[in-house]
Chains A and B, each alone.
Chain A
Amino acid sequence: MIEASPFQYFVDPVLRAPTLGSMLMCLGASLVGVFVFLRRQSLLGESLSHAAYPGVILGVILSGLLSFGESEEVYIAIFIMGGAAITALLGLWCIYALERHLGVRSDSALCFILSVFFGVGLTLASQVQFSYSYLYRQAQVYLYGQAATMTDIHVIVYGVLAFIITGVVCLFYKEIQTITFNRDYAKSIGMNVRMMDAVFFVLIVIAVIIGIRSVGVVLMSAMLISPAVAARQYTNKLSLMFLLAGLFGLLSGYLGNYLSTETSLWFQRVYPSSRLALPTGPMIVLVASCICLLSLLLAPERGMLLRMCRIAHFRQRCMYENLLKAIWRLGPHQAVSFEQIAKHQSTSKFYLRFVLWRLKRNGWLQTNDQKFYQFTHEGEVWAAKIVRLHRLWEVYLVDYLGMGSEKVHVNAEEMEHIITPDLERELTLLLHDPQRDPHHQPIPPKAF
Chain B
Amino acid sequence: MDIKYFNPYSNENFLGFFYQLGLRLYGFISGQIPLRELASDEIQLIVLMSLAGSAALVGAFLVLRKMTMLANSLSHTILLGIVAAYVMSSNGILEGDEHYHPINIQAMLWAALGVGILTVFLTEFLTKKARLQEDASTGIVFTSLFALGIVLVTLLTRNAHVGTEVVMGNVDALQLEDCKLILIIFGLNILLTGLFFKEYQITTFDPALANALGFSTLFYNYLLMVQVSATTVGAFRAVGVLMVLAFITGPVLTARLLTHRLGTLIFMAIGIGFFASLIGVALSRHILSVYGVPFSTGIVVCVIAGLFLLAIIWKKIERSRLFGKFQAKDLVSTS
Chains A and B touch each other in the complex, with CB atoms below 8 Å apart:
yes
Q: Evaluate contact between A276 and B154: CB separation under 8 angstroms.
A: yes
Q: Does B71 contact A (CB under 8 A)?
A: yes
- Say which one of A114-122, A310-318, A332-340, A341-349 lies at the interface with B: A114-122
Q: Evaluate contact between B136 and A111: CB separation under 8 angstroms.
A: no
CA distance A222 to B264 in the complex (A): 38
CA distance A281 to B298 in the complex (A): 24
**Neighbouring A residues of B146 by C-beta, 8 Å:** 218-219, 282
**Neighbouring B residues of A102 by C-beta, 8 Å:** 257, 312
Q: Evaluate contact between B150 and A289: CB separation under 8 angstroms.
A: no
Q: Evaluate contact between A226 and B140: CB separation under 8 angstroms.
A: yes
**Neighbouring B residues of A115 by C-beta, 8 Å:** 242-246, 248-250, 301
Interface residues of B toward A: which range? 35 or more
Instruction: Tell me whether A222 and B143 are in contact in the complex, defined as CB-CB below 8 angstroms, given that A116-B250, A120-B305 are known contacts.
Output: yes
Q: Does A74 contact B (CB under 8 A)?
A: no
Q: Does A140 contact B (CB under 8 A)?
A: yes
Q: Which residue of A lies closest to B168 (CB)?
A: A122
Q: Does B240 contact A (CB under 8 A)?
A: yes
CA distance A293 to B125 in the complex (A): 12
Q: Does B329 contact A (CB under 8 A)?
A: no
Q: Does A26 contact B (CB under 8 A)?
A: no
Residue pairs across A and B with CB atoms within 8 Å: the count is 189
Q: Evaluate contact between B147 and A123: CB separation under 8 angstroms.
A: no
Interface residues of A toward B: which range? 35 or more
CA distance A122 to B71 in the complex (A): 20
CA distance A277 to B257 in the complex (A): 46
A269-282 to B contact mask, C-beta < 8 Å, 1/0: 00101101111011
Instruction: Tell me whether A285 and B143 are in contact in the complex, defined as CB-CB below 8 angstroms, given that A107-B66, A144-B163, A229-B136 are known contacts.
Output: yes
Which of B148, B299, B301 has the most chain A CB atoms closer than 10 A to its own CB?
Answer: B301
- Say which one of A34-42, A172-180, A203-211, A238-246 lies at the interface with B: A34-42
Binding site secondary structure of chain A: helix
Q: Evaluate contact between A37 and B295: CB separation under 8 angstroms.
A: no
**Neighbouring B residues of A408 by C-beta, 8 Å:** none
Q: Evaluate contact between A120 and B144: CB separation under 8 angstroms.
A: no
Which of A122, A274, A277, A296 has the most chain B CB atoms closer than 10 A to its own CB?
Answer: A122
B136-158 to A contact mask, C-beta < 8 Å, 1/0: 10111001101110110011001
Q: Which residue of B lies closest to A259 (CB)?
A: B151
Q: Evaluate contact between B253 and A112: CB separation under 8 angstroms.
A: yes
Instruction: Tell me whether A122 and B243 are in contact in the complex, defined as CB-CB below 8 angstroms, given that A37-B136, A127-B295, A130-B294 are known contacts.
Output: yes
Q: Does A306 contact B (CB under 8 A)?
A: no
Q: Evaluate contact between B72 and A279: CB separation under 8 angstroms.
A: no
Q: Does B164 contact A (CB under 8 A)?
A: yes
Instruction: Tell me whether A123 and B136 are in contact in the complex, defined as CB-CB below 8 angstroms, given that A115-B249, A289-B144 are known contacts.
Output: no
Q: Which residue of B lies closest to A143 (CB)?
A: B164
Q: Evaluate contact between B147 and A222: CB separation under 8 angstroms.
A: yes
Instruction: Tell me whether A279 and B139 are in contact in the complex, defined as CB-CB below 8 angstroms, given that A108-B253, A123-B301, A126-B298 are known contacts.
Output: no
- Say which one of B3-11, B127-135, B186-194 lies at the interface with A: B127-135
Q: Does A124 contact B (CB under 8 A)?
A: yes
Q: Evaluate contact between A116 and B295: CB separation under 8 angstroms.
A: no
B66-88 to A contact mask, C-beta < 8 Å, 1/0: 11110110001000000000000
**Neighbouring A residues of B63 by C-beta, 8 Å:** 105, 108
Q: Does A356 contact B (CB under 8 A)?
A: no
CA distance A278 to B245 in the complex (A): 27
Q: Which residue of A lies closest to B256 (CB)?
A: A104
Q: Evaluate contact between A46 and B295: CB separation under 8 angstroms.
A: no
Q: Does B183 contact A (CB under 8 A)?
A: no
Q: Does A92 contact B (CB under 8 A)?
A: no
Q: Evaluate contact between A123 and B296: CB separation under 8 angstroms.
A: yes
**Neighbouring B residues of A274 by C-beta, 8 Å:** 95, 158-159
**Neighbouring A residues of B290 by C-beta, 8 Å:** none
Q: Evaluate contact between A130 and B293: CB separation under 8 angstroms.
A: yes
B229-250 to A contact mask, C-beta < 8 Å, 1/0: 0000000000010111110111
Q: Evaluate contact between A110 and B69: CB separation under 8 angstroms.
A: yes
Q: Does A43 contact B (CB under 8 A)?
A: yes
CA distance A124 to B301 in the complex (A): 12
Q: Evaluate contact between B163 and A279: CB separation under 8 angstroms.
A: yes
Q: Evaluate contact between A112 and B302: CB separation under 8 angstroms.
A: no
**Neighbouring A residues of B160 by C-beta, 8 Å:** 276-279
Q: Evaluate contact between B302 and A119: CB separation under 8 angstroms.
A: yes
Q: Evaluate contact between A107 and B68: CB separation under 8 angstroms.
A: yes
Q: Which residue of A lies closest to B67 (CB)?
A: A107
Q: Does B304 contact A (CB under 8 A)?
A: yes
B86-119 to A contact mask, C-beta < 8 Å, 1/0: 0000000001000000000000000000000000
**Neighbouring A residues of B248 by C-beta, 8 Å:** 111, 115
Within 8 A of B (CB), among A257-300: 267, 271, 273-274, 276-279, 281-283, 285-286, 289, 292-293, 296
Q: Separation in Å of the B77 CB from the closest CB of chain A?
A: 13
**Neighbouring B residues of A279 by C-beta, 8 Å:** 150, 154, 160, 163
Q: Evaluate contact between A40 and B69: CB separation under 8 angstroms.
A: no
Q: Evaluate contact between B130 and A304: CB separation under 8 angstroms.
A: yes
Q: Evaluate contact between A123 and B298: CB separation under 8 angstroms.
A: yes
Across the interface, A111 reaches (CB within 8 A) one of B69, B143, B305, namely B69
Q: Evaluate contact between B136 and A289: CB separation under 8 angstroms.
A: no
**Neighbouring A residues of B296 by C-beta, 8 Å:** 123, 126
CA distance A40 to B296 in the complex (A): 36
CA distance A144 to B147 in the complex (A): 9
Q: Does A63 contact B (CB under 8 A)?
A: no
Q: Separation in Å of the B172 CB from the closest CB of chain A?
A: 10
Across the interface, B147 reaches (CB within 8 A) one of A105, A131, A282, namely A282
**Neighbouring B residues of A228 by C-beta, 8 Å:** 136
Q: Does A221 contact B (CB under 8 A)?
A: yes
Q: Does B176 contact A (CB under 8 A)?
A: no
Within 8 A of B (CB), among A84-130: 102, 104-105, 107-108, 110-112, 114-116, 118-120, 122-127, 130
25 A-B residue pairs with Cβ-Cβ distance under 8 Å, sorted by A, are A40-B135, A41-B135, A42-B138, A43-B138, A46-B139, A107-B66, A110-B68, A110-B69, A111-B72, A115-B250, A119-B298, A120-B298, A122-B298, A122-B301, A123-B295, A123-B301, A222-B140, A222-B147, A228-B136, A271-B158, A274-B159, A289-B144, A292-B140, A296-B126, A296-B130
- 7 tightest A-B contacts by CB? A123-B298, A119-B301, A222-B143, A289-B144, A115-B245, A115-B246, A285-B147
Q: A112-B253, A282-B148, A282-B154 are in contact. List 14 more A-B contacts (CB 8 A).
A: A40-B135, A42-B139, A112-B308, A115-B301, A120-B301, A122-B301, A123-B298, A126-B294, A222-B144, A225-B139, A267-B155, A278-B160, A289-B143, A292-B140
Binding site for A on B (CB under 8 A): 63, 66-69, 71-72, 76, 95, 126, 129-133, 135-136, 138-140, 143-144, 146-148, 150-151, 154-155, 158-160, 163-164, 167-168, 240, 242-246, 248-250, 253, 256-257, 293-302, 304-305, 308, 312
